[in-house]
Amino acid sequence: MSQTQSGSTAPAKPPWFAFQQPIPFQTRILTGLLAWVLFLGLWQYAATADLAPRRLFPAPTDVLAALYTLFSESAFHSDVLSSLRRIVLSFVMALTVALPLGILMGAFPRVEAFFNPLVSPFRYLPAPAFIPLLLMWLGGDESQKVGLLILGVVWFLTTLIMDTVKNVRMELIETALTLGATRRQVLSSVLVRASAPGIVDTCRQMLAVSWTYLVIAEIVATTDGIGAMMMRARRFVNVDEVMAGILTIGLLGLLLDLLFRTLHWWWFPHLRKAAN
């Protein structure tokens, strides 16, 4: 505490590296840009310092040049659209199952007691382990790839949605029941609405997990997609194209993450007011 001229005390200025201290938006942006500048600078230096053959460890400029060539000469945009279609389709299908099931499990303990022993063990099974079964059941066409992407997220998505619904304050439910709301009204008007911001944020986080399974889904009997392009590049030791594929996946994931953040900001303005 610091002493003012009138004798009153004013709160001391927090230290520069304080715990949980909010920082201005401009500072956050500049700090993030500084981190990327340092990362790319170190990468460029390592690639040009003859620490490894340039063909096996290309510089950022080489990767950007390969990305430009892929789009301008190799119709890479069609691969990007194929991968994006698989991600969106599989996530929508997983959400179609996880959303109602997770809400019901979070709202009703009896539903959770029945389904949770089935859902929880599947979270610990690696999705790639199902590839042989999916190939035998679905073949090597599009359904096998979409099925693998669904299996990669649906179990975690269901559990996280359940936990979000269970975290709704009990006072809200008791107040609604006291005012004469029915069970259906409490479910739709209280539980679903109160947990909606958390569910949207959960979808944003789990969409990132879908991207981690994309290359695995596209390396088996696939002729299109970012993963298929990366496997073709690996065959000819075009490391710059492989890194360009990784960069593309990261950028697409970032854009979808920003989309979900924008939807969260747009759909729940009351949270912005509470934060301010």
Q: Which residues contact 125 (CB under 8 A, 6 or more apart)?
A: none
Average pLDDT of the segment spanning 229-237 = 92
pLDDT at 152: 93
Please tell me the distance from the alpha carbon of residue 208 to that of residue 230, in angstroms, as a whole number: 19
| Segment among 70-84, 113-127, 261-275 with least mean pLDDT | 261-275
Backbone angles phi, psi at 22, to 5 degrees: -65, 150
Q: Is the pLDDT of residue 9 over 70?
A: no
Digit-coded pLDDT (tens) for 111-147 = 999 999 999 999 999 888 999 999 899 888 889 999 9
Q: How much of the chain exceeds pLDDT 90, in percent?
A: 69
pTM of the model: 0.86
pLDDT at 54: 85
Contact between 94 and 150 (Cβ < 8 Å)? yes
Q: Where are the domains of the chain?
A: 76-275
pLDDT at 219: 83
Give the CATH number of domain 76-275: 1.10.3720.10
Please tell me the distance from the alpha carbon of residue 7 to that of residue 3, in angstroms, as a whole number: 6
Q: Is the pLDDT of residue 2 over 60?
A: no
Average pLDDT of the segment spanning 77-83 = 95
Average pLDDT of the segment spanning 90-96 = 97
Digit-coded pLDDT (tens) for 30-57 = 998 999 999 999 999 999 888 888 889 9
pLDDT at 17: 66
CB count within 10 Å of CB 107 equals 21
Residue 100's region, left for phi above 0, alpha for psi from -120 to 50, else beta, is: alpha
Query: In Å, how far are 46, 84, 245, 246, 249 from 145, measured between CA atoms?
Result: 37, 12, 18, 19, 17
